[in-house]
Amino acid sequence: MRTGLYPGTFDPITLGHIDIIRRASTLVDKLVIGIAINRDKGPLFSLDERVAMVEAECAAIAAESGIKIVAHPFDNLLITCAQEVGASVIVRGLRAVADFEYEYQMVGMNRAMNDEIETVFLMADAHYQAIASKLVKEICRLDGDISTFVSPRVARALKEKYR
């Protein structure tokens, strides 16, 4: 069984994330969504809220694809998390060339720690390349329309946070 790990903060999960999850689900038998605790970023949503959002958003994808999708919080090294969940593949989404610079360095470091775990890059669909959780939060905070960036469920949660 091939297990993939798609890590991120998911604060909140966007349609761009969903696109990568949907496409990654065709490459593996089990997909673990690694939700970084990352206290340094000061997430808007609590860890429990982010886990619940990821689980709710991924339920339909799991049902459609027939694979198991699991939300897994982590606060250690990405490569350590991958080893803990039995992942042979780390899935990373790329929006732009600027993302690649950072990701390239990360792959090198991860391979130095464990060269048996591969990293696979999926380019974001053109419709989702501009979406960033940070920008979605800012647009929502300033009462802008976020309906093309997140699901209705996530939009409601964001609006509730900023109410």
Of 81, 99, 98, the C-alpha closest to 90 is 81
CA distance linking residue 113 with residue 143, whole number of Å: 44
Q: Among residues 25, 65, 133, 151, which one is catalytic? A: 133
How far is 147 from 163, CA to CA, in rounded Å? 17
Active site residue 50: no
Active-site entry in 17, 30, 92, 137? 17
What Cα–Cα distance (Å) separates residue 125 from each residue in 17, 103, 129, 131?
10, 18, 6, 10
Q: Which of 68, 95, 153, 161 is an active site residue?
A: 95
- Segments in 1-46 forming alpha helices (H): 15-24
> Pick the catalytic residue: 2, 41, 127, 156?
41
95 is a catalytic site residue:
yes
Does residue 137 carry a catalytic annotation?
no
Instruction: Please report, as a single letter, which amino acid is at residue 73.
Output: P
What residues are annotated to the active site? 17, 41, 95, 133
